[in-house]
Structure 1
Amino acid sequence: MPRRDLHAAFVEAYGREDVSLDNFKGLCKRKGWLTGRTGRYEKGDVPANKGKRMPYHPNSARTRFKKGQLPHNTKYAGHERVRKDGYVEISVNERNPHTGADRRYVHKHRWLWEQKNGPVPEDMVLKCLDGDKTNTDPSNWKLIPRGMLPRLNGVHGRGYDDAPADLKPTIMAVSELEHRAREGNAAKK
C-alpha cells in the first residue's frame, strides 16, 4: 500500500491529525516497515502507455523495423564462431535445454564426429590429434577416456599439445598404455 494511503488510514483509525505524512514516512523507515512494493513489474500489471500510439516522427520511422525485416546481424543455423579458447562452434537446429531457444551452439568437431560415429560415450572425450582446434575434420579427433587427459597435458603430463607433430603419436601411445596399465591394476585390487 502506498505511504500516502497508509498515512490517511492511520490518521482516520487513530485520530492523529498531528502526525504529518513526512513524520509517518520517517516512522516507517525507522521501524523498517516495507510497503510491499519490490520495484519490479509483477505478472498482470498493465503498462502505463498501453493503448497509446507513438506520435509519428520521420526520424524514428526511418529506424523502425518493417514487417518481416530481420536485423543485419541475424545468425542462421550453420553459422560458425570461434570461442576464446580456440574451439569452433556451429549453430544447429536443436532446442537449447538452458534457454528453450530453437537453435543452440555446439562444438563443431564434436557435432561432425557424432554425425559420422554416433554419440560420444559417457566418460570419454575427443582429443585433437594435430593440436589445431580449428581443424574440425572427424579424422583429426580421437575418442579417449577422460582419465587420460592429465597424462597428456596435466601438471605431470607430457605436454601433448605443445609437442612437435612427429612426437604426438608416440606420446599418445605411451599415455594409452599407461592408462590401460593403471586400469588393470585398479581392477585387480
Structure 2
Amino acid sequence: MNSLAEQALARARKIFSTCVNDIAPTRRFWIESDEKRLAELYSDTPMPELIEIFGRPDHAIYGKATSMGLKRSEAYLASEHACRLRRENNPGVEFRFQKGQKPWNKGISFDCGGRSTETRFAPGTMPHNNMPVGTERVTADGIRQRKIRDDGPAHRRWKSVHSLIWEEANGEIPPGHIVVFRDRNTEHLALENLELVSRSENMRRNTFHRYPPELKDTIRQLNKLKRAISEASDEKQND
C-alpha cells in the first residue's frame, strides 16, 4: 500500500473509531410488557402522561397505538385533554360558506389592465439573457455543450459537443448508449478519441475493479470498518 493510501486509511480509522464510541441507539423496540401496558392506558390517559410513562415521543406512541388498533374512549375525546378538532363535532362551521351563499366576485370578469401590459413579454420575444443557438458552454464536470435549439425543455436545448461530433460521423446515438472519451480527457474532442458504449458497459468501467490494487485494499479496509460500526450499533440497540 502506498503512503497516500496509508494516510487515507489512518484518517478513516480515526474517524470511524470515534463514531463507534459515540454511537447511541436511535430506535427502541416495544416489548410485550410495554404493549400490554399501552393497551391498558391508551384509551383514557393524556399524551403527556404516556410520554412520561414510556419515555418515548408522541409520534412513536401514536404509531404503536395505531398498529395495535387502539382507540381513544368517547369520554376522553369529550374531555379537555383531547385535541380541539377531535373534541368538537364540527369545528369552524360558523366560518364556512352557507348553502346558497354566493361569493362576492361571482360574475365579475377579470380585466387585465393597469401598467402590467408595459412589462409583459410580447409573443416571440426572448429574454435579455437568452443565448443564441450555437453558443457553447462548459459544465461543472468539464463537458463542453452546445445550444442546439430555443424551444422545448431547457435540458434538451443543450447537447454535449463530443456527442454531436460522433453523430456527425456515425449517425444518431442508439437508445441505451452514450459516447465516452477513450482517454477520459473531456477536452480531447477528436473523433478518434470518442467511443460508443452501452450504459451498462460504462457503469462496469466505473466500478471498484478499475482502481489500482493499493486503492482497492484501502476501500476493503474502509468497508470492514463500516461493518464494524453497524455491528456495534446493533449490539447497543439490543442491550
TM-score, normalised via structure 1 length = 0.43
Q: Which one has more relative contact order, counting CA pairs under 8 Å at least 6 apart?
A: 2
> Could you say which structure has the higher helix fraction?
2
Q: TM-score, normalised by structure 2?
A: 0.35
